[in-house]
Structure 1
Amino acid sequence: MQFLVYILVYPFLWLISILPFRLLYAFSDFLYVLIYRVFGYRKKVVKENLILVFPEKSKEEINRIMKVFYHHLCDMILEAIKSMTISESEMKKRFTFSNIEEIHKLEKENKSIVLMGGHYGSWEWIFILQTYINHKGYAIYKRLANTYFDRLVKRIRAKYNSYLITTKEAIPTLVESKRKGELTINGFAADQSPKVTKAYHWSNFMGINVPVHTGAEMIAKKLDMAVVFFKVKRLKRGFYQATFETITTEPNQFKNYKITDIFLKLVEKQIYDAPEYYLWTHKRWKHKDKALK
Protein backbone atom coordinates (compact mmCIF):
# COMPACT_ATOMS: atom_id res chain seq x y z
CA MET A 1 0.00 0.00 0.00
CA GLN A 2 2.84 2.42 0.81
CA PHE A 3 4.38 1.85 -2.61
CA LEU A 4 1.02 2.33 -4.34
CA VAL A 5 0.52 5.67 -2.60
CA TYR A 6 4.05 6.66 -3.56
CA ILE A 7 3.75 5.85 -7.26
CA LEU A 8 0.38 7.63 -7.42
CA VAL A 9 1.49 10.78 -5.62
CA TYR A 10 5.08 11.14 -6.79
CA PRO A 11 4.27 12.20 -10.40
CA PHE A 12 2.10 15.06 -9.10
CA LEU A 13 4.86 16.21 -6.75
CA TRP A 14 7.37 16.10 -9.58
CA LEU A 15 5.11 18.12 -11.88
CA ILE A 16 4.67 20.73 -9.15
CA SER A 17 8.42 20.83 -8.57
CA ILE A 18 9.19 21.76 -12.20
CA LEU A 19 6.77 24.70 -12.25
CA PRO A 20 8.47 28.07 -12.71
CA PHE A 21 8.34 30.10 -9.52
CA ARG A 22 5.70 32.46 -10.87
CA LEU A 23 3.31 29.54 -11.35
CA LEU A 24 4.46 27.83 -8.16
CA TYR A 25 3.39 30.81 -6.08
CA ALA A 26 0.15 31.20 -8.03
CA PHE A 27 -0.57 27.60 -7.05
CA SER A 28 0.39 28.50 -3.47
CA ASP A 29 -2.26 31.24 -3.51
CA PHE A 30 -4.83 28.65 -4.60
CA LEU A 31 -3.63 26.25 -1.90
CA TYR A 32 -4.07 29.04 0.67
CA VAL A 33 -7.74 29.36 -0.26
CA LEU A 34 -8.21 25.61 0.22
CA ILE A 35 -6.25 25.27 3.45
CA TYR A 36 -7.33 28.47 5.17
CA ARG A 37 -10.66 29.45 3.67
CA VAL A 38 -12.24 26.12 2.72
CA PHE A 39 -10.86 23.45 5.08
CA GLY A 40 -9.62 25.68 7.90
CA TYR A 41 -6.61 23.43 8.56
CA ARG A 42 -5.80 23.76 12.28
CA LYS A 43 -7.28 27.27 12.42
CA LYS A 44 -8.50 26.64 15.96
CA VAL A 45 -5.01 25.58 17.09
CA VAL A 46 -3.37 28.58 15.40
CA LYS A 47 -5.84 31.08 16.87
CA GLU A 48 -5.58 29.57 20.36
CA ASN A 49 -1.77 29.68 20.20
CA LEU A 50 -1.74 33.32 19.07
CA ILE A 51 -4.25 34.46 21.69
CA LEU A 52 -2.32 32.57 24.37
CA VAL A 53 1.06 34.17 23.67
CA PHE A 54 -0.24 37.58 22.52
CA PRO A 55 -3.12 38.35 24.92
CA GLU A 56 -2.57 42.07 24.31
CA LYS A 57 -3.26 41.89 20.56
CA SER A 58 -6.66 42.76 19.15
CA LYS A 59 -8.88 40.32 17.28
CA GLU A 60 -8.07 42.17 14.05
CA GLU A 61 -4.33 41.85 14.60
CA ILE A 62 -4.62 38.14 15.42
CA ASN A 63 -6.57 37.59 12.20
CA ARG A 64 -3.99 39.53 10.19
CA ILE A 65 -1.15 37.39 11.58
CA MET A 66 -3.13 34.23 10.81
CA LYS A 67 -3.71 35.19 7.17
CA VAL A 68 -0.06 36.04 6.55
CA PHE A 69 1.03 32.88 8.35
CA TYR A 70 -1.16 30.61 6.22
CA HIS A 71 0.12 32.25 3.02
CA HIS A 72 3.67 31.62 4.23
CA LEU A 73 2.85 28.03 5.25
CA CYS A 74 1.58 27.27 1.74
CA ASP A 75 4.72 28.79 0.25
CA MET A 76 6.90 26.57 2.45
CA ILE A 77 4.97 23.43 1.49
CA LEU A 78 5.52 24.13 -2.20
CA GLU A 79 9.14 25.21 -1.68
CA ALA A 80 9.75 21.84 -0.01
CA ILE A 81 8.35 20.12 -3.10
CA LYS A 82 10.43 22.41 -5.32
CA SER A 83 13.51 20.98 -3.60
CA MET A 84 13.09 17.86 -5.73
CA THR A 85 14.26 19.60 -8.91
CA ILE A 86 15.53 23.08 -8.05
CA SER A 87 19.07 23.73 -9.30
CA GLU A 88 21.92 24.51 -6.96
CA SER A 89 22.42 27.95 -8.51
CA GLU A 90 18.73 28.82 -8.09
CA MET A 91 18.70 27.73 -4.47
CA LYS A 92 21.85 29.74 -3.75
CA LYS A 93 20.16 32.79 -5.19
CA ARG A 94 17.09 32.32 -3.04
CA PHE A 95 18.64 31.16 0.25
CA THR A 96 21.68 33.19 1.25
CA PHE A 97 23.89 33.54 4.31
CA SER A 98 24.86 36.89 5.79
CA ASN A 99 27.92 35.69 7.74
CA ILE A 100 29.12 32.32 6.46
CA GLU A 101 32.52 33.25 7.89
CA GLU A 102 31.15 32.34 11.33
CA ILE A 103 31.09 28.68 10.26
CA HIS A 104 34.47 28.95 8.53
CA LYS A 105 35.96 30.31 11.76
CA LEU A 106 34.79 27.23 13.69
CA GLU A 107 36.12 25.00 10.92
CA LYS A 108 39.58 26.55 11.35
CA GLU A 109 39.26 25.85 15.08
CA ASN A 110 38.50 22.20 14.23
CA LYS A 111 35.11 22.41 15.95
CA SER A 112 32.11 20.35 15.04
CA ILE A 113 28.83 22.21 15.42
CA VAL A 114 25.39 21.74 16.88
CA LEU A 115 23.27 24.06 14.73
CA MET A 116 20.06 25.04 16.51
CA GLY A 117 17.13 26.75 14.88
CA GLY A 118 13.42 27.23 15.36
CA HIS A 119 10.48 26.47 13.10
CA TYR A 120 10.62 30.02 11.89
CA GLY A 121 10.96 31.70 8.49
CA SER A 122 12.07 28.77 6.36
CA TRP A 123 14.29 25.81 7.09
CA GLU A 124 13.59 23.78 3.94
CA TRP A 125 16.50 25.12 1.90
CA ILE A 126 19.14 25.58 4.58
CA PHE A 127 20.86 22.37 3.49
CA ILE A 128 22.37 24.41 0.63
CA LEU A 129 24.78 25.52 3.38
CA GLN A 130 26.75 22.36 2.67
CA THR A 131 27.97 23.79 -0.64
CA TYR A 132 29.80 26.56 1.23
CA ILE A 133 31.48 24.59 4.01
CA ASN A 134 33.55 21.45 4.59
CA HIS A 135 31.67 20.10 7.61
CA LYS A 136 29.70 16.94 6.93
CA GLY A 137 26.02 17.75 7.49
CA TYR A 138 23.48 15.84 9.57
CA ALA A 139 19.93 16.83 10.43
CA ILE A 140 17.96 15.21 13.21
CA TYR A 141 14.47 14.35 12.00
CA LYS A 142 11.43 12.16 12.63
CA ARG A 143 11.23 9.32 10.13
CA LEU A 144 8.23 9.49 7.77
CA ALA A 145 5.63 6.74 8.07
CA ASN A 146 5.84 6.00 4.34
CA THR A 147 9.27 4.47 3.76
CA TYR A 148 9.33 5.44 0.07
CA PHE A 149 8.72 9.12 0.76
CA ASP A 150 11.22 8.88 3.61
CA ARG A 151 13.87 7.68 1.15
CA LEU A 152 12.92 10.47 -1.26
CA VAL A 153 13.47 13.16 1.37
CA LYS A 154 16.81 11.60 2.30
CA ARG A 155 17.91 11.57 -1.35
CA ILE A 156 17.07 15.24 -1.76
CA ARG A 157 19.16 16.20 1.27
CA ALA A 158 22.03 13.90 0.30
CA LYS A 159 22.56 15.81 -2.97
CA TYR A 160 24.38 18.42 -0.92
CA ASN A 161 26.29 16.21 1.52
CA SER A 162 23.55 16.52 4.14
CA TYR A 163 22.12 13.41 5.78
CA LEU A 164 19.00 12.81 7.84
CA ILE A 165 19.29 10.75 11.00
CA THR A 166 16.76 9.94 13.69
CA THR A 167 17.15 10.84 17.35
CA LYS A 168 18.10 7.23 18.13
CA GLU A 169 20.75 7.24 15.40
CA ALA A 170 22.26 10.59 16.42
CA ILE A 171 24.55 9.56 19.28
CA PRO A 172 26.15 6.47 17.68
CA THR A 173 26.49 8.23 14.31
CA LEU A 174 28.15 11.33 15.74
CA VAL A 175 30.36 9.39 18.15
CA GLU A 176 31.63 7.37 15.19
CA SER A 177 32.21 10.55 13.16
CA LYS A 178 34.25 12.02 15.98
CA ARG A 179 36.28 8.80 16.24
CA LYS A 180 37.09 9.15 12.52
CA GLY A 181 38.15 12.76 13.00
CA GLU A 182 35.31 14.14 10.86
CA LEU A 183 34.01 17.65 11.32
CA THR A 184 30.22 17.63 11.39
CA ILE A 185 27.49 20.25 11.50
CA ASN A 186 24.32 18.87 13.05
CA GLY A 187 20.97 20.57 12.64
CA PHE A 188 18.28 20.59 15.30
CA ALA A 189 14.89 22.31 15.10
CA ALA A 190 14.54 22.22 18.85
CA ASP A 191 11.65 24.53 19.70
CA GLN A 192 8.73 22.07 19.54
CA SER A 193 7.15 20.14 22.39
CA PRO A 194 8.49 16.81 23.67
CA LYS A 195 6.33 14.26 25.43
CA VAL A 196 5.84 15.19 29.08
CA THR A 197 7.16 11.79 30.15
CA LYS A 198 10.42 12.50 28.30
CA ALA A 199 10.86 16.10 29.43
CA TYR A 200 14.00 16.71 31.47
CA HIS A 201 13.56 20.46 31.59
CA TRP A 202 10.77 23.03 31.62
CA SER A 203 11.38 26.57 30.48
CA ASN A 204 9.54 29.85 30.01
CA PHE A 205 8.81 30.16 26.29
CA MET A 206 6.78 33.14 25.13
CA GLY A 207 5.77 33.76 28.75
CA ILE A 208 4.49 30.22 29.35
CA ASN A 209 6.10 27.35 31.25
CA VAL A 210 6.51 24.41 28.87
CA PRO A 211 8.59 21.23 28.49
CA VAL A 212 11.49 21.62 26.06
CA HIS A 213 13.82 19.40 24.04
CA THR A 214 17.33 19.22 25.51
CA GLY A 215 18.94 16.68 23.16
CA ALA A 216 20.91 19.26 21.16
CA GLU A 217 22.55 20.64 24.30
CA MET A 218 23.24 17.14 25.60
CA ILE A 219 25.00 16.11 22.37
CA ALA A 220 27.01 19.35 22.29
CA LYS A 221 28.28 18.67 25.81
CA LYS A 222 28.91 14.97 25.28
CA LEU A 223 30.95 15.54 22.10
CA ASP A 224 32.34 19.01 22.93
CA MET A 225 30.74 20.74 19.95
CA ALA A 226 30.25 24.44 19.39
CA VAL A 227 26.62 25.56 19.59
CA VAL A 228 25.41 27.94 16.88
CA PHE A 229 21.98 29.48 16.44
CA PHE A 230 20.70 30.13 12.93
CA LYS A 231 18.17 32.88 12.35
CA VAL A 232 16.24 32.88 9.08
CA LYS A 233 14.75 36.11 7.77
CA ARG A 234 12.20 36.25 4.95
CA LEU A 235 13.46 38.96 2.61
CA LYS A 236 10.55 38.70 0.18
CA ARG A 237 8.47 35.92 -1.26
CA GLY A 238 10.72 32.99 -2.10
CA PHE A 239 13.91 34.64 -0.78
CA TYR A 240 15.49 34.06 2.63
CA GLN A 241 18.68 34.94 4.47
CA ALA A 242 20.20 33.00 7.35
CA THR A 243 22.45 34.57 9.99
CA PHE A 244 24.60 32.57 12.40
CA GLU A 245 25.20 33.43 16.05
CA THR A 246 27.64 31.35 18.06
CA ILE A 247 26.20 30.69 21.50
CA THR A 248 29.35 28.97 22.78
CA THR A 249 32.40 27.00 21.72
CA GLU A 250 32.72 25.51 25.23
CA PRO A 251 29.34 23.99 26.08
CA ASN A 252 30.56 22.25 29.21
CA GLN A 253 31.21 25.63 30.82
CA PHE A 254 27.42 26.11 31.06
CA LYS A 255 25.11 24.71 33.70
CA ASN A 256 22.70 22.09 32.44
CA TYR A 257 19.89 23.51 30.30
CA LYS A 258 21.31 27.03 30.20
CA ILE A 259 22.20 26.67 26.51
CA THR A 260 18.67 25.45 25.77
CA ASP A 261 17.21 28.47 27.57
CA ILE A 262 19.45 30.85 25.61
CA PHE A 263 18.35 29.21 22.37
CA LEU A 264 14.67 29.61 23.24
CA LYS A 265 15.14 33.31 23.98
CA LEU A 266 16.68 33.77 20.53
CA VAL A 267 13.69 32.04 18.94
CA GLU A 268 11.39 34.24 21.01
CA LYS A 269 13.01 37.38 19.66
CA GLN A 270 12.35 36.24 16.09
CA ILE A 271 8.71 35.61 16.91
CA TYR A 272 8.18 38.96 18.63
CA ASP A 273 9.81 40.76 15.68
CA ALA A 274 7.54 39.11 13.07
CA PRO A 275 5.13 36.52 14.51
CA GLU A 276 3.53 35.65 11.17
CA TYR A 277 6.51 33.51 10.13
CA TYR A 278 6.47 31.08 13.06
CA LEU A 279 4.96 27.59 12.72
CA TRP A 280 1.74 28.16 14.68
CA THR A 281 0.03 24.94 13.55
CA HIS A 282 1.99 22.86 16.06
CA LYS A 283 0.50 22.38 19.53
CA ARG A 284 3.57 23.88 21.14
CA TRP A 285 1.88 24.85 24.41
CA LYS A 286 -0.36 21.80 24.87
CA HIS A 287 1.46 20.72 28.06
CA LYS A 288 1.51 24.15 29.70
CA ASP A 289 -0.61 23.00 32.68
CA LYS A 290 1.25 19.74 33.32
CA ALA A 291 4.46 20.99 34.92
CA LEU A 292 5.55 18.89 37.86
CA LYS A 293 4.92 20.71 41.13
Structure 2
Amino acid sequence: MQLVVYILVYPLLWLISRLPFKILYLISDGVFALLYNVVGYRKKVVRNNLSLALPEKSEEERLLIEKKFYKHFCDMFLEMIKTLGITNKQMKQRYVFTNVEVFQKLEDEGKHIMIMMPHYASWEWVFSLNSMVRSKAYAIYQPIQNKYFDKLVRDIRSKYGTTLIKTYESRDIIAKAKETNELITVGIISDQSPMLQRARHWAKFMGVLVPIHVGAEELCKSHGMIPVYLKVKKVGRGYYEATFKVLAENPSEIADYEISEAFMKETEKAIREAPEYYFWTHKRWKHMGKAPKEFQQKSDKAVNA
Protein backbone atom coordinates (compact mmCIF):
# COMPACT_ATOMS: atom_id res chain seq x y z
CA MET A 1 0.00 0.00 0.00
CA GLN A 2 2.85 2.39 0.84
CA LEU A 3 4.35 1.81 -2.61
CA VAL A 4 0.99 2.40 -4.32
CA VAL A 5 0.55 5.75 -2.55
CA TYR A 6 4.09 6.75 -3.48
CA ILE A 7 3.63 5.79 -7.15
CA LEU A 8 0.43 7.84 -7.32
CA VAL A 9 1.81 10.93 -5.55
CA TYR A 10 5.40 11.16 -6.79
CA PRO A 11 4.59 12.28 -10.39
CA LEU A 12 2.57 15.19 -8.98
CA LEU A 13 5.42 16.19 -6.65
CA TRP A 14 7.90 16.00 -9.53
CA LEU A 15 5.66 18.21 -11.68
CA ILE A 16 5.25 20.77 -8.89
CA SER A 17 9.03 20.90 -8.40
CA ARG A 18 9.45 22.03 -12.03
CA LEU A 19 6.94 24.89 -11.84
CA PRO A 20 8.01 28.57 -11.75
CA PHE A 21 7.93 30.12 -8.29
CA LYS A 22 4.99 32.39 -9.19
CA ILE A 23 2.81 29.38 -9.98
CA LEU A 24 4.21 27.50 -6.99
CA TYR A 25 2.96 30.20 -4.64
CA LEU A 26 -0.43 30.32 -6.34
CA ILE A 27 -0.72 26.63 -5.49
CA SER A 28 0.44 27.42 -1.94
CA ASP A 29 -2.36 29.98 -1.62
CA GLY A 30 -4.85 27.32 -2.65
CA VAL A 31 -3.41 24.79 -0.20
CA PHE A 32 -3.66 27.44 2.55
CA ALA A 33 -7.34 28.06 1.82
CA LEU A 34 -8.03 24.32 2.01
CA LEU A 35 -5.82 23.60 5.02
CA TYR A 36 -6.87 26.58 7.10
CA ASN A 37 -10.49 27.22 6.17
CA VAL A 38 -11.71 23.70 5.37
CA VAL A 39 -9.50 21.12 7.11
CA GLY A 40 -8.45 23.29 10.06
CA TYR A 41 -5.24 21.28 10.43
CA ARG A 42 -4.09 21.37 14.09
CA LYS A 43 -5.77 24.74 14.53
CA LYS A 44 -6.59 24.01 18.18
CA VAL A 45 -2.95 23.13 18.91
CA VAL A 46 -1.73 26.30 17.19
CA ARG A 47 -4.17 28.53 19.08
CA ASN A 48 -3.33 26.95 22.42
CA ASN A 49 0.40 27.37 21.74
CA LEU A 50 0.05 31.00 20.69
CA SER A 51 -2.09 31.79 23.74
CA LEU A 52 0.43 30.12 26.04
CA ALA A 53 3.60 31.56 24.47
CA LEU A 54 2.30 35.04 23.63
CA PRO A 55 -0.17 35.96 26.41
CA GLU A 56 0.70 39.64 26.04
CA LYS A 57 -0.81 39.68 22.55
CA SER A 58 -4.51 40.39 22.04
CA GLU A 59 -6.77 37.72 20.57
CA GLU A 60 -6.89 39.70 17.31
CA GLU A 61 -3.08 39.88 17.15
CA ARG A 62 -2.73 36.16 17.76
CA LEU A 63 -5.32 35.41 15.07
CA LEU A 64 -3.30 37.45 12.57
CA ILE A 65 -0.12 35.59 13.56
CA GLU A 66 -2.01 32.31 13.18
CA LYS A 67 -3.08 33.08 9.61
CA LYS A 68 0.40 34.27 8.63
CA PHE A 69 1.86 31.11 10.11
CA TYR A 70 -0.39 28.82 8.07
CA LYS A 71 0.50 30.71 4.89
CA HIS A 72 4.20 30.30 5.68
CA PHE A 73 3.62 26.64 6.61
CA CYS A 74 2.15 25.99 3.15
CA ASP A 75 4.93 27.96 1.43
CA MET A 76 7.60 25.92 3.16
CA PHE A 77 5.97 22.64 2.25
CA LEU A 78 5.90 23.64 -1.42
CA GLU A 79 9.47 24.96 -1.18
CA MET A 80 10.63 21.58 0.10
CA ILE A 81 9.10 19.93 -2.98
CA LYS A 82 10.64 22.63 -5.17
CA THR A 83 14.07 21.53 -3.95
CA LEU A 84 13.79 18.63 -6.39
CA GLY A 85 13.87 21.05 -9.33
CA ILE A 86 15.52 24.20 -8.02
CA THR A 87 18.73 25.31 -9.75
CA ASN A 88 21.94 26.19 -7.91
CA LYS A 89 21.58 29.79 -9.10
CA GLN A 90 18.06 30.06 -7.72
CA MET A 91 19.15 28.54 -4.42
CA LYS A 92 22.02 30.99 -3.97
CA GLN A 93 19.67 33.89 -4.65
CA ARG A 94 16.95 32.67 -2.32
CA TYR A 95 18.90 31.26 0.65
CA VAL A 96 21.76 33.58 1.53
CA PHE A 97 24.32 32.90 4.25
CA THR A 98 25.24 36.36 5.55
CA ASN A 99 28.46 35.43 7.37
CA VAL A 100 29.67 32.09 6.01
CA GLU A 101 33.20 33.25 6.86
CA VAL A 102 32.42 32.47 10.54
CA PHE A 103 31.83 28.86 9.57
CA GLN A 104 34.85 28.73 7.26
CA LYS A 105 37.12 30.13 9.99
CA LEU A 106 36.14 27.25 12.30
CA GLU A 107 36.94 24.82 9.49
CA ASP A 108 40.34 26.47 8.98
CA GLU A 109 41.00 25.86 12.68
CA GLY A 110 40.17 22.18 12.23
CA LYS A 111 37.02 22.34 14.34
CA HIS A 112 34.13 19.92 14.08
CA ILE A 113 30.88 21.91 14.05
CA MET A 114 27.42 21.30 15.47
CA ILE A 115 24.78 23.45 13.74
CA MET A 116 21.80 23.91 16.06
CA MET A 117 18.56 25.10 14.51
CA PRO A 118 14.93 25.48 15.61
CA HIS A 119 11.82 24.83 13.52
CA TYR A 120 11.80 28.43 12.41
CA ALA A 121 11.51 30.16 9.00
CA SER A 122 13.21 27.53 6.78
CA TRP A 123 15.53 24.64 7.48
CA GLU A 124 14.98 22.70 4.26
CA TRP A 125 17.34 24.84 2.21
CA VAL A 126 20.14 25.01 4.78
CA PHE A 127 21.62 21.97 3.05
CA SER A 128 22.84 24.27 0.27
CA LEU A 129 25.60 25.29 2.70
CA ASN A 130 27.52 22.26 1.43
CA SER A 131 28.46 24.11 -1.74
CA MET A 132 30.42 26.68 0.31
CA VAL A 133 32.26 24.57 2.89
CA ARG A 134 34.76 21.72 3.03
CA SER A 135 33.60 19.55 5.91
CA LYS A 136 31.59 16.36 5.49
CA ALA A 137 27.99 17.16 6.41
CA TYR A 138 25.53 15.06 8.40
CA ALA A 139 22.02 15.88 9.53
CA ILE A 140 20.14 14.14 12.32
CA TYR A 141 16.55 13.44 11.33
CA GLN A 142 13.47 11.42 12.26
CA PRO A 143 12.50 8.81 9.63
CA ILE A 144 9.04 8.89 8.01
CA GLN A 145 6.85 5.80 8.42
CA ASN A 146 6.31 5.37 4.67
CA LYS A 147 9.73 4.06 3.61
CA TYR A 148 9.30 5.31 0.04
CA PHE A 149 8.53 8.89 1.08
CA ASP A 150 11.28 8.59 3.66
CA LYS A 151 13.72 7.86 0.85
CA LEU A 152 12.33 10.79 -1.14
CA VAL A 153 12.86 13.19 1.77
CA ARG A 154 16.38 11.85 2.25
CA ASP A 155 17.08 12.32 -1.46
CA ILE A 156 15.79 15.90 -1.33
CA ARG A 157 17.82 16.80 1.73
CA SER A 158 20.96 15.11 0.44
CA LYS A 159 20.87 16.94 -2.90
CA TYR A 160 23.92 19.00 -1.93
CA GLY A 161 25.83 16.13 -0.34
CA THR A 162 24.48 15.93 3.21
CA THR A 163 24.15 12.46 4.73
CA LEU A 164 21.04 11.97 6.86
CA ILE A 165 21.53 9.92 10.01
CA LYS A 166 19.39 8.75 12.91
CA THR A 167 20.02 10.08 16.40
CA TYR A 168 21.58 6.85 17.69
CA GLU A 169 24.11 6.85 14.82
CA SER A 170 25.54 10.28 15.60
CA ARG A 171 27.96 9.33 18.39
CA ASP A 172 29.67 6.60 16.38
CA ILE A 173 29.97 8.82 13.29
CA ILE A 174 31.48 11.69 15.28
CA ALA A 175 33.88 9.36 17.12
CA LYS A 176 35.02 7.81 13.83
CA ALA A 177 35.59 11.25 12.29
CA LYS A 178 37.88 12.16 15.17
CA GLU A 179 39.84 8.94 14.73
CA THR A 180 40.31 9.48 10.99
CA ASN A 181 40.79 13.26 11.24
CA GLU A 182 37.87 13.83 8.89
CA LEU A 183 36.40 17.31 9.33
CA ILE A 184 32.65 17.06 9.86
CA THR A 185 29.59 19.17 10.47
CA VAL A 186 26.45 17.80 12.13
CA GLY A 187 23.13 19.60 11.90
CA ILE A 188 20.31 19.10 14.38
CA ILE A 189 16.94 20.71 15.05
CA SER A 190 16.81 20.98 18.82
CA ASP A 191 13.64 22.83 19.80
CA GLN A 192 11.17 19.95 20.00
CA SER A 193 10.05 18.47 23.29
CA PRO A 194 12.03 15.40 24.42
CA MET A 195 10.24 12.32 25.74
CA LEU A 196 9.35 12.98 29.35
CA GLN A 197 11.13 9.89 30.67
CA ARG A 198 14.33 11.00 28.91
CA ALA A 199 14.25 14.65 29.99
CA ARG A 200 17.41 15.56 31.87
CA HIS A 201 17.03 19.31 32.06
CA TRP A 202 14.20 21.84 32.28
CA ALA A 203 14.32 25.55 31.46
CA LYS A 204 12.02 28.45 30.68
CA PHE A 205 11.02 28.76 27.03
CA MET A 206 8.63 31.56 26.09
CA GLY A 207 7.99 32.01 29.81
CA VAL A 208 7.04 28.37 30.43
CA LEU A 209 9.13 25.74 32.24
CA VAL A 210 9.63 22.84 29.83
CA PRO A 211 12.07 19.95 29.24
CA ILE A 212 14.70 20.76 26.63
CA HIS A 213 16.93 18.64 24.42
CA VAL A 214 20.53 18.52 25.60
CA GLY A 215 21.91 15.90 23.21
CA ALA A 216 23.61 18.40 20.91
CA GLU A 217 25.38 20.02 23.87
CA GLU A 218 26.52 16.66 25.20
CA LEU A 219 27.99 15.73 21.81
CA CYS A 220 29.83 19.06 21.70
CA LYS A 221 31.25 18.60 25.19
CA SER A 222 32.30 14.98 24.74
CA HIS A 223 33.76 15.34 21.24
CA GLY A 224 35.06 18.91 21.20
CA MET A 225 32.55 20.15 18.63
CA ILE A 226 31.71 23.84 18.35
CA PRO A 227 28.00 24.62 18.84
CA VAL A 228 26.79 27.15 16.30
CA TYR A 229 23.28 28.61 16.25
CA LEU A 230 21.87 29.30 12.80
CA LYS A 231 19.37 32.14 12.79
CA VAL A 232 17.20 32.15 9.69
CA LYS A 233 15.25 35.25 8.75
CA LYS A 234 12.51 35.33 6.13
CA VAL A 235 13.07 38.48 4.07
CA GLY A 236 10.48 37.81 1.38
CA ARG A 237 8.32 35.05 0.01
CA GLY A 238 10.80 32.32 -0.85
CA TYR A 239 13.80 34.38 0.28
CA TYR A 240 15.82 33.80 3.45
CA GLU A 241 18.95 35.03 5.19
CA ALA A 242 20.87 32.67 7.47
CA THR A 243 23.36 33.95 10.05
CA PHE A 244 25.80 31.90 12.15
CA LYS A 245 26.40 32.61 15.84
CA VAL A 246 28.95 30.63 17.86
CA LEU A 247 27.38 29.63 21.18
CA ALA A 248 30.61 28.50 22.85
CA GLU A 249 34.23 28.52 21.67
CA ASN A 250 35.30 26.05 24.37
CA PRO A 251 32.20 23.97 25.18
CA SER A 252 33.99 21.74 27.70
CA GLU A 253 34.59 24.81 29.87
CA ILE A 254 30.91 25.84 29.90
CA ALA A 255 28.66 24.79 32.78
CA ASP A 256 26.30 21.93 32.00
CA TYR A 257 23.17 22.88 30.08
CA GLU A 258 24.18 26.51 29.51
CA ILE A 259 24.70 25.85 25.79
CA SER A 260 21.26 24.26 25.50
CA GLU A 261 19.68 27.17 27.35
CA ALA A 262 21.56 29.66 25.16
CA PHE A 263 20.14 27.93 22.09
CA MET A 264 16.60 28.16 23.46
CA LYS A 265 17.08 31.86 24.27
CA GLU A 266 18.23 32.57 20.70
CA THR A 267 15.19 30.70 19.42
CA GLU A 268 12.95 32.75 21.67
CA LYS A 269 14.46 35.99 20.34
CA ALA A 270 13.69 34.93 16.77
CA ILE A 271 10.11 34.02 17.69
CA ARG A 272 9.49 37.37 19.37
CA GLU A 273 10.85 39.20 16.33
CA ALA A 274 8.50 37.41 13.91
CA PRO A 275 6.30 34.77 15.61
CA GLU A 276 4.50 33.80 12.40
CA TYR A 277 7.54 31.85 11.19
CA TYR A 278 7.76 29.43 14.12
CA PHE A 279 6.26 25.96 13.73
CA TRP A 280 3.29 26.31 16.07
CA THR A 281 1.82 22.94 15.08
CA HIS A 282 4.30 21.15 17.37
CA LYS A 283 3.08 20.31 20.88
CA ARG A 284 6.16 22.01 22.33
CA TRP A 285 4.61 22.73 25.72
CA LYS A 286 2.82 19.39 26.25
CA HIS A 287 4.85 18.62 29.41
CA MET A 288 4.09 21.95 31.06
CA GLY A 289 3.55 21.56 34.79
CA LYS A 290 5.36 18.22 34.99
CA ALA A 291 8.80 19.51 35.98
CA PRO A 292 10.55 17.73 38.86
CA LYS A 293 10.46 19.70 42.10
CA GLU A 294 14.15 20.65 41.89
CA PHE A 295 13.67 22.45 38.56
CA GLN A 296 10.44 24.08 39.67
CA GLN A 297 12.12 25.42 42.81
CA LYS A 298 15.08 26.70 40.78
CA SER A 299 12.71 28.45 38.42
CA ASP A 300 10.75 30.03 41.27
CA LYS A 301 13.96 31.32 42.84
CA ALA A 302 15.05 32.87 39.53
CA VAL A 303 11.70 34.67 39.23
CA ASN A 304 11.86 35.98 42.80
CA ALA A 305 15.51 37.04 42.58
**Separation (CA, whole Å) in 2 of partners of 1:205 and 1:222:** 25
**Which of 91-100 and 168-177 deviates more?**
168-177
User: Displacement of 1:156 after TM fit?
Assistant: 2.2
Unmatched 5+ stretches in structure 2: 294-305
- Counterparts in 2 of 1:246-261, with a 5 A limit? 246-261=246-261
- Counterparts in 2 of 1:108-127, with a 5 A limit? 108-127=108-127
Match of 1:197 in 2: 197
Unmatched 5+ stretches in structure 1: none
**Separation (CA, whole Å) in 2 of partners of 1:244 and 1:205:** 21
Match of 2:140 in 1: 140
Match of 2:163 in 1: 163
CA contact (8 A) 1:139 1:164 kept: yes
Match of 1:30 in 2: 30
**Separation (CA, whole Å) in 2 of partners of 1:154 and 1:84:** 11
CA contact (8 A) 2:205 2:264 kept: yes
**Separation (CA, whole Å) in 1 of partners of 2:116 and 2:193:** 15
Q: Does 1:188 align with 2:188?
A: yes
| Residue type at the aligned position of 2:174 | L
User: Displacement of 1:159 after TM fit?
Assistant: 2.5
CA contact (8 A) 2:127 2:158 kept: no
Match of 1:150 in 2: 150
| Residue type at the aligned position of 1:153 | V
- Counterparts in 2 of 1:45-60, with a 5 A limit? 45-60=45-60
Match of 1:72 in 2: 72
Match of 1:87 in 2: 87
Match of 1:62 in 2: 62
Match of 1:131 in 2: 131
**Separation (CA, whole Å) in 2 of partners of 1:148 and 1:181:** 34
User: Displacement of 1:178 after TM fit?
Assistant: 1.8
**Separation (CA, whole Å) in 1 of partners of 2:169 and 2:46:** 32
Match of 2:234 in 1: 234
- Tell me, what secondary structure is at the counterpart of 2:73? helix
- Tell me, what secondary structure is at the counterpart of 1:139? strand
CA contact (8 A) 2:141 2:167 kept: yes
**Separation (CA, whole Å) in 2 of partners of 1:155 and 1:173:** 20
**Which of 258-267 and 151-160 deviates more?**
151-160
Match of 1:8 in 2: 8
CA contact (8 A) 2:115 2:228 kept: yes
**Separation (CA, whole Å) in 1 of partners of 2:122 and 2:252:** 30
Match of 2:244 in 1: 244
Match of 1:43 in 2: 43
**Separation (CA, whole Å) in 2 of partners of 1:116 and 1:82:** 24
Q: Does 1:17 align with 2:48?
A: no
Give the RMSD, CA atoms, in angstroms. Answer: 0.9
Runs of 4+ with deviation above 6 angstroms: none
**Separation (CA, whole Å) in 1 of partners of 2:67 and 2:107:** 41
Q: TM-score, normalised by structure 1?
A: 0.98
Number of residue pairs matched?
Answer: 293
